[in-house]
Amino acid sequence: MKSVPVEVTAAPAVEPERVNLLGLDRRALEGFFAELGEKPFRVSQVLKWIHARRVTRFEDMTDLSKALRTKLAAMAEVRVPEAVADQRSADGTRKWLLRLDGANAVETVLIPEKTRDTLCVSSQVGCALECSFCSTGVQGFNRNLSTAEIVGQLWFVNRELAREQPERQVTNVVFMGMGEPLLNFRNVVPAAELMKDDHAYGLSKRRVTLSTSGVVPNLYKLAEVTDISLAVSLHAPNDGLRDELVPINQRHPLRELMAACRHYIADKPHRRITWEYVMLDGVNDSDAHAHELVRLLGDIPSKVNLIPFNPFPGTQYQCSPADRIQAFSHILSRAGLTSTTRKTRGDDIDGACGQLVGKVADRTRRQEKRTAVDGDA
């Protein structure tokens, strides 16, 4: 590199920020290449290099012209995440802590099963909603992840898998890690598009599932721009209880949420909603709650996923006993509802639902406020 003499008093040279192509979906890349005066077919080539072949150096992208490779190297980059910790559970579940910036890190969890490898991705550093049974919620919130940081979790885990078994790749993605994906709409949607793009990861719409606690206006927006699968964190069959467990319900009560969900699957004959229902001992797990749930779901094409509560330090809740979960599940199936009880995976490495905490530089000062309130009591 040529060195340029600088005066002692001059401000340090700041490198112009390069565009991270890892975070550009097909539409964004089309715009990027159009500005460079390049042909649209470059988009598929570059998507394939970055996401399918996991090549990060432009000089190695051999079907691009030499001139284009040089141009890209000067103005863009492919910056991928870096792991700061890697844990493996006795049941095969794996969890990585990925560094984002100096203060923050997020967790991404791989759940291997016989016929599929499911990746649970994070969409925010922490979460601004305060569901009372969720350790991510208790931790506070720092910021949204960028598209590159979201899709980077998939890129990274695919590379780890391929290192161990060349043909092995993530087959399903669920947005069930840290954060509320619909409160990071702008970055989550292009990330999901990349996951589905045939030249990037090629996952079908059935294999990419967004889980939301019920940000109703953004559910309508989502229906306009994508057809990925939807999971809804219900956890209670009536407003009184849901207001307490999932506080966003106070803003968007069940009537609104159910209407938005019906709208999401309208005109999609083979689609159904997955309802997540965490089993909390003595709170939402009675026979009466199960019957109320059946009435609430009515004729919506549904699958109910009963999740045994995963405890974390300081929580006020306990998981329902196994026979209670079974009795609850029987009521649902007798009413014709498909219900599955999620096996708890990875709890020995705190990789189970609601146990993901990453490293959140909390900007909501939630812990402090909580301590103050507890102290007053």
Please tell me whether residue 319 binds ligand SF4 under the rule CB under 6 A.
no
Please tell me whether residue 276 binds ligand SAH under the rule CB under 6 A.
yes
Please tell me whether residue 310 binds ligand SAH under the rule CB under 6 A.
yes
**Given candidates 354, 357, 358, 359, which one binds ligand SAH under the rule CB under 6 A?**
354
| Partner in contact with 278, chosen from ligand SF4, ligand SAH, none, beta carbon below 5 to 8 Å by kind | ligand SAH
Query: Is 256 an active-site residue?
Result: no
Q: End-to-end distance of the chain based on CA atoms, in angstroms?
A: 63
Shortest CA distance to 289 belongs to which of 236, 333, 247, 342?
A: 236
Q: Which is nearer to ligand SF4, 179 or 358 (CB)?
A: 179
**Given candidates 78, 98, 119, 127, which one binds ligand SF4 under the rule CB under 6 A?**
127
Q: Which of residues 113-152 bind ligand SAH (CB under 6 A)?
A: 131, 133-134
Please tell me whether residue 213 binds ligand SAH under the rule CB under 6 A.
yes
Query: Is 134 an active-site residue?
Result: no
| Active-site position among 38, 107, 149, 276 | 107
Please tell me whether residue 111 binds ligand SAH under the rule CB under 6 A.
no
Please tell me whether residue 309 binds ligand SAH under the rule CB under 6 A.
yes
Residues that bind ligand SAH (CB under 6 A): 131, 133-134, 176, 180, 211-213, 233, 276, 278, 307, 309-310, 353-354
In the complex, the residues that contact ligand SF4 under the rule CB under 6 A are 127, 129, 131, 134, 136-137, 179-180, 213, 233
